[in-house]
Amino acid sequence: MVGPGWRTCSKDASLGRIEIWANNQLHHRGAVEPINQPEPVKSFEVPQSFNQVLVHLDYALRALAGYALNRRSRRLLERRMNQANRRYCQTLGASFRFPLVHLSPFPYHESRIEYRLFCHEAGMQSIEVRTNLAQLRAKRAISAANLAAETGVSRQTIHAIEAGLYIPNTAVSLKLARILGTTVEELFQLEVEQEMTEETAEVFVVGDVASMPKGQPLRMTSVNDHLVAVAPDPASWGLQPTDAVLLAPIRAGKSHVNAEVRLLGNGWKNPGRILLAGCDPSASLLAHSMERQGYELVIAYENSSRSLELLHEGLVHIAGTHLAEKASDKADLLPIGKMFARNSIAVLSCAMWKEGLIAAQGNPKKIAGIQDLSRRDVRITNREPGAGCRRLLDDLLLKNKIASDKVKGYDRITLGQLPAARLVQSGEVDCCIGTQAAAASMGLAFLPLAEKPYLLVLRRTHLTLTPVQALIETLGRSAYRREVEACVGYDMHTAGDRLV
């Protein structure tokens, strides 16, 4: 190898020596050997591994920069290095403008010097070989220096062989075996290639699992000793972080299923990761805020009833719900409390939001209230049973004595607030029921019908988890509250308050 300010001389055909010289006058004669050069400032041998050469070159260039820049002008050093580059590019048949390998400027000094590395030896190879040289040498009480002297190599060569960084040639191998009274096969063995085994796991897949293809990317979280997987938002324009992929398609049509996945790492083992199920579109803002603190909030977009069911089954850490009409006293929370054992859950206030009708921008159909849903020219999309917005629609239809079969599109089900709002935005339907946040996120018209609390429910045993504590603290921060209020119009003045 040849480079400015350093050289390699090949003693053993595949072993090189990097030497730092006080000047940069390099000469080429067969292998790279200097002519009438002074003693090197620093020298060390390197094995044939290219990666290892780069490691040693790093130290070499440190020494070069430190020595030369302290004794010479920067311009002179650059000129001599460029001359060396030009000379050895020609020797090796490479272009000076396009050398074989280019290393970026090293940051040890404020210099514009560009160091270049050229391949000179053809013996650069990578063979996986395991050696017993160190054990056999220790067993026979032979020092590295004595073994090197008897073999005719340097002590550094012996250490490089023992470290597995250098594979000696046949002659050296035979000499080592004879001196140690063993065979070459005893000294060196080829590494057996191990078959790559896939690490798989059995997980609970939650969310819309009516149909998932083989290879479906999933996020995973450990909850109560369960591995729970969630599919990323399919409407996202970018690829989402992935912890595993499905090994077989899902055709269950259930709310959650067991499935086998191939793991893609250990990110899911992060103790700072928790899983929240809910339908709040602003949950992503909470996730981003926690991410800045070093925690991960994975979101499973589920309706209020289903979120509470997952919490009851121990498959999520936190469930978001807006089934309670109010949150002024414990009596308002009885429908939630009935699902769990007494004193087993904690209920936190997250936001007060408005629910109502979402119409196209500018409200071209002039929809004014719930009565207009019975018009023949108005098409809606409904939410699935168990959703808080579906419950509000049914209550209002009953209160206004409007039969569901009079509402065009009542049986058309869309999972999630944002997917329903996208149908309005695309013009497939004229109206849907949802939150002000969903309407604002897509610039749609919003007609408020009710104001309800959005609550976070979790088991009290999870209150001690560090990421849960960070989530509660985030809810109470004024900066986070202002962000949510500005983005989606929620009333956040009680966010983070514990109700139960």
* Range with the largest mean pLDDT of 95-99, 333-337, 409-413: 409-413
Considering the domain 319-500, what is its CATH architecture? Answer: 3-Layer(aba) Sandwich (3.40)
- pLDDT at residue 403 above 70? yes
Q: Which residue has the higher pLDDT, 263 or 333?
A: 263
Q: Are 349 and 495 in contact (CB under 8 A)?
A: yes
What pLDDT, on the 0 to 100 scale, is given for residue 31?
Answer: 32
pLDDT number for residue 164: 72
Contacts (Cβ under 8 Å, ≥6 apart) of 115: 3, 4, 57, 61, 81, 103, 105, 106
Torsion of CA 139, 145, 146, 148, to 10 degrees: 100
Report DSSP letters for 77-124, one per residue: HHHHHHHHHHHHHHHHT--SSS-SEE-PPPTTSS-----EEB---S--
Q: Which residue has the higher pLDDT, 465 or 155?
A: 465
Task: Determine the 3-state secondary structure of 129 from DSSP.
Answer: strand
What are the extents of the domains in the chain?
A: 2-117, 129-190, 319-500
Instruction: Dump the DSSP string for 339-352.
Output: TS-TT-EEEEEEEE
Mean pLDDT of the chain: 76
Please give the backbone phi and psi of residue 478, each rounded to the nearest 5 degrees, phi first: -65, -35
Residues 6+ apart with CB under 8 A from 348: 455, 456, 457, 458, 472, 475, 496, 497, 498, 499
pLDDT at 167: 82
Q: Is the pLDDT of residue 77 over 50?
A: no
d(CA 375, CA 380): 11
Domain 129-190, CATH homologous superfamily name and number: lambda repressor-like DNA-binding domains (1.10.260.40)
Kind plus residue range of the DSSP H or E element containing 319 = strand 318-321
The whole-model pTM stands at: 0.61
pLDDT of 378 > 80? The answer is: yes
Q: What is the pLDDT of residue 192?
A: 58
How high is the pLDDT of residue 398? 94
Name the H helices within 213-358: 283-291, 304-312, 334-337
Question: Is a pLDDT exceeding 80 seen at residue 11?
Answer: no
The whole-angstrom separation of Cα 348 and Cα 475 is 10
Q: Distance (Å, rounded) from C-alpha 3 to C-alpha 89?
A: 10
pLDDT at residue 352 above 70? yes
Task: Using the structure block, give the residue that is written with the tokens 């109010």.
Answer: 326
**Comparing C-alpha atoms, which of 345, 385, 381 is closest to residue 255?**
385
Strands (DSSP E) found in 345-430: 345-359, 380-381
R_g of the chain, CA atoms, integer Å: 35
Rounded to whole angstroms, the Cα distance separating 386 from 395 reads: 13
